[in-house]
Structure 1
Amino acid sequence: MANISSIGVGSGLDLSTLLDGFRTSEESVLSTITQRKSTENARLSAYGQLSSAIEKLQTAAKAFEGDTTFGQYATSQTGESFSASASSSAVAGSYRIHVTSLASTQTLIANGVADKTAQNGTGGKVSFTLKNGDIKELNLEGKSTSIQDIAAAINADSELGISASIMNDGSGSPYRLMLSTTATGTEAAISNITVEDNDGNLGTLLNKSAMQEQAASDAVIKVNGIEVTQATNKLENVIQGVTLNLSKVDTEAQTLTVTRNDDKAKAAINEFITAYNNVQKFIKSSTAYTEGAGGSVLNGDSTARTAQTRLSGIMNFQSSNGGAFKTLSDLGIRTQADGSIQLDEEKFGKALTENRDDIAKLFQDKTNGIATYTQNVTKSLISSTTGIVTTASNGTKTRIEELNSQYERKQAQIEATMERYRAQFTALDSLVAKMNGTSAYLSQQLSMWNTSGSK
């Protein structure tokens, strides 16, 4: 009998179509699982978007922490002899500042030598006495004493507060050791240098009285006619909360103006409002039900509804810290008909101008402030361990994993079932083919007998 290569060829039955029908019927279960996975994936994506929106609100609330939001001051000045910045402890005002001297470092230049690598005896200890009484020591025991090596040893010791270099003046003995203090001001200047335990001419080379000196100087300014002397060009708290960076001497006094800067506070409030509205808008759209279109991805979802309720509590929050403002609505931040919140710019601006400290208290109070309350609410929603949105998201991930496993198991079952059907159909095809062959043979024999009998 000929080898049957396709189901139904031997029997003439349409077994292949029947087998495909069985597969379609079996795989309908997979379609159901796939649809459930699609639903769960959409839910997981929605939880991710909800968590992200809540996190942005949490970040906006954190902006109120510290004193950089409501305690901002701006500075401006005429001229270019100094620049200024102000901290939250500054006081608004105007100041006349005259820079008459800048702080500078001291430079000492030794007499020249012909060879910068020539040794100046062996060993020794060099002591640098500063004007403020401090003594810095450089131990050269076991080290080379050429001016090149001495410069390297000084630069390698950051505790000295001295930098060293070698200059070439082009003369017959051109190489000259040059020492500079790293700190500005007269108190940091070297007043004396002594050399001990050196058997060469190192003491002569480092004799301060024989060295050329560019003297250190202090910064001197006049603030509203009062003279102030500092060792550095960065003057902190000469004026309360203000840092002055001196850059050059000026011929006349310049005006420094310190003013309150509420731009950051306004920006933080607006970012908070935007973040709040965005999360509420997302919850509203993702839980909505539209006639004809059906429910959105989180329609009927208890987690989303709980998040919406807890976040709405921010607008119902009442402070008991004793400040002039108890709620956000007292500042002109009110809930609209659609659930969003809006800022009354005029009312808020007036409150900020007249009572910025109490606004700061309403937002920043550690135990009874808007920022802390919002932090607690958002943590209860998206904390990595106990947040309800995080928990719901993790539960959805688990269901997706279970559906994936269920899909794989069912797919394996279907393949096994189809192989069983294929084997059964192949056996049936072969049996019917044999029966057809036997029937044809018998029909042929009967025909022959009938023909033979009629003769």
Structure 2
Amino acid sequence: MAGIASLGVGSGLDLQSLVQRLVSAERAPAEGRLSRSASSLNAQISAYGQLKSGLAKLDGALKKLSDLGEARSVQVSDTKLVTATATETADLGSYSIKVTSLAAAQSLASDGFADADASLGAGQLSMSVGGTDPVTITLAEGADSLRDVRDAINEAEAGVSATLIKDGEEYRLLLTADETGLANTITVTPGTGMDARLGSAAMTQVTPPADAYFSVSGLALTSASNTIEEVLPGVTLTLKGETEENSTVTVTVGRDDQSTRKAVDAFVSAYNAVIDLTAKLSGYNAETQQGSTLTGDATLRSIRGALPAALGRETGAAWNAVEMGLRSDVQGKLSLDAEDFAARLAEDPAGALASLRGFADGLGEEVRRYSDAEGLLDNRTEGMKASLKAIETQYETLARRMESYEARLVKQFSALDQMVAQMNSTSSYLTAQLANIGKQG
């Protein structure tokens, strides 16, 4: 406000305040309009963000429905001795498992060494497990102590783990095969000039290698590992302990309807959350006559119509959503009729799952049309952001116009101030002259 500080000096009037009030009065209507538009756009952008987040959660629940397979549940009578998992390819059935002995990994212990840091001779160790190709481990001069041997074996990843054990006043090297099984025996051959105690031939076998001996429903079997993956297709057994002589562990593979139900419940929850959100964003308060952020919004109306339409679309599967037990109330929210749902799963598990996947795929495709990157919601949001940038430009234009208007007012009131000052000066002069004439008379 250049020059405005001196306004009113000549006239004695508060012209500075008058200019400020006139500029404010001129600015207020346009500034208020721009502010209301910006607030409305920001509120809509936030609402669209909430809507996109809700649809993304719904899409996640739908993808889990789309990926549903014939899940299996596994019951084990004694998990301290046997554990089991099953994939959807596993046959339904019950099996008795008897564990005679567990698979074991071979362990070898060297003779004692008085000093774990003393040199054992530089050279090369050849190490192999079972029928694998030997691994050559090189020990350099000055880095050839028992500790160095341990570290070099562990770093070589030769299928053997090495540990130092202090036995009284001496140190012993303990080697353990990484894999269990009778065939996985450890062979270590020290090179020329190296301490012969590092060779497996000079070591004591602490734990012999062993295969697992067990039976499935009376069929005697063996395995190099305690994890059995191929005996029962789709079922992985883990042997953890030996059963008593006349007892077995029962493993029962059944349909996992509970996981399917959980996936449907998660979908219903996510769907209803979107319905609640759309109602909140589009609601109208008749008492206050105030709408919500997106009241009357065409995109929101489209979503509210598209969700139930896509859910009810025929997919060619055995049953539609209603026949699978999904029910819609007057607000558009879903619930699941547990009896109908269980009946469909019991009648035709594969058909029921195909039906769930069918309407999940159709509804998911519709949801992603709105929620995906560069989808309808993103396009609308980008349009609003462009409008906000236009408002920023209008703010800048308004600011320049107000500066020009203020400068014009300052110029006009400065002229008025000078004129009034001149008139006051002339008035004072005439008054003084008239007073002098009176004295002369």
Q: TM-score of the superposition, structure 1-length normalised? A: 0.86
Matched ranges for 1:344-423 at <5 A: 344-364=337-357, 369-385=358-374, 387-423=375-411
Give the structure 2 partner of residue 279 of structure 1: 274
Equivalent residue letter for 1:51: K
Q: Name the counterpart of 2:105.
A: 105
- What is the one-letter code of the residue matched to 1:267? K
1:167·1:175 contact (CA, 8 Å) conserved in 2? yes
CA drift at 1:410: 0.7
Query: Does the 8 Å CA contact 2:73/2:254 hold for their aligned counterparts?
Result: yes
* Structure 1: gaps (5+ residues): none
Report deviation, 1:98. 2.0
* Matched residue, 2:258: 263
CA 1:219–1:66: 2 relative to 1, 3 Å: farther
Q: Which residue type is aligned with residue 353 of structure 1?
A: A
Q: In 1, are the aligned partners of 2:129 and 2:159 still within 8 Å (CA)?
A: no
Q: Is it true that 1:312 corresponds to 2:313 in the alignment? A: no
In 1: Cα distance, 2:206 partner to 2:182 partner: 13
| CA pair 137-52 structure 1, distance change in 2 beyond 3 A | closer
- Distance of aligned partners of 1:421 and 1:179 in 2 relative to their CA distance in 1, 3 Å threshold: same
Closer/same/farther in 2, CA of residues 380 and 124 from structure 1, 3 Å limit: closer
Residue 440 of structure 2 is aligned to residue 445 of structure 1: no
CA distance in 1, matches of 2:167, 2:11: 113
Does residue 231 in structure 1 map to residue 229 in structure 2? no
Secondary structure in structure 2 of the residue aligned to 1:220:
strand
| C-alpha displacement of 1:9 | 5.0
The Cα of 1:142 is off from its aligned counterpart by: 4.7
Compared CA separation, residues 302 and 448, structure 1 to 2 (3 A): same
Matched, 1:33 2:28: no
Q: What is the deviation of 1:129?
A: 5.9
Q: How far has the Cα of 1:352 moved from its partner?
A: 2.1
- Mark the CA change 1:14 to 1:349 in structure 2 (over 3 Å): closer, same or farther: same
| Alignment root-mean-square deviation, CA | 2.7
Distance verdict in 2 for CA 1:201–1:32, change over 3 Å? closer
User: In structure 2, do the counterparts of structure 1 residues 444 and 298 end up closer, same or farther at CA, with 3 Å as the change threshold?
Assistant: same
Aligned to 2:148: 149
Deviations 1:359-393 (A, max 9, x none): 211233xxxx22222232122112212x1111011
Unaligned runs of 5+ in 2: none
Which residue of 417, 421, 424 corresponds with 1:429? Answer: 417
The residue type paired with residue 330 of structure 2 is A
Taking a change above 3 Å as real, the CA distance of residues 32 and 105 of structure 1, as seen in their structure-2 partners, is: same
Contact 1:77 1:256 in 2 (8 A): yes
Shift of 1:52: 1.6
- Residue 372 of structure 1 aligns to which amino acid in structure 2? D
State the secondary structure of the residue aligned to 2:323: helix
The SS at the match of 1:186 is: coil
Alpha carbons of structure 1 residues 294 and 122: separation in structure 2 relative to 1, 3 Å: closer
**Partner amino acid, structure 1, of 2:262:** A
Show CA shifts across 1:337-366 (max 9, x none): 2322332222112112322211211233xx
Fraction of identical pairs, as percent = 31
Retained in 1: the 8 A contact 2:74–2:84?
Answer: no
Match of 1:56 in 2: 57
- Paired with 1:275 and 1:249, the residues of 2 have a C-alpha distance of 47
Pairwise CA distance, 1:75: 2.5
Question: What secondary structure does 2:407 align onto?
Answer: helix
Given that 1:30 and 1:411 are in contact with CA atoms closer than 8 Å, whether structure 2 keeps it comes out as: no
Match of 2:327 among 327, 334, 350: 334
Structure 2 counterpart of 1:337, which letter? V
> Which whole-Å deviations, capped at 9, do the CAs of 1:109-138 have from their partners, x for residues lacking one?
2233444444445524535462xx334232
TM-score (norm 2): 0.88
Report the 3-state secondary structure (helix = DSSP H, G, I; strand = E; otherwise coil) of the residue aligned with 1:73: strand
Question: Deviations for 1:250-282, whole angstroms, at most 9, x for unmatched residues?
Answer: 313222233322222212212212222232333
Change in Cα spacing, 1:148 to 1:290, as seen in structure 2 (3 Å) is closer
* Offset from partner CA, 1:14-43 (integer Å, 9 cap, x none): 534532441232112111111111111222
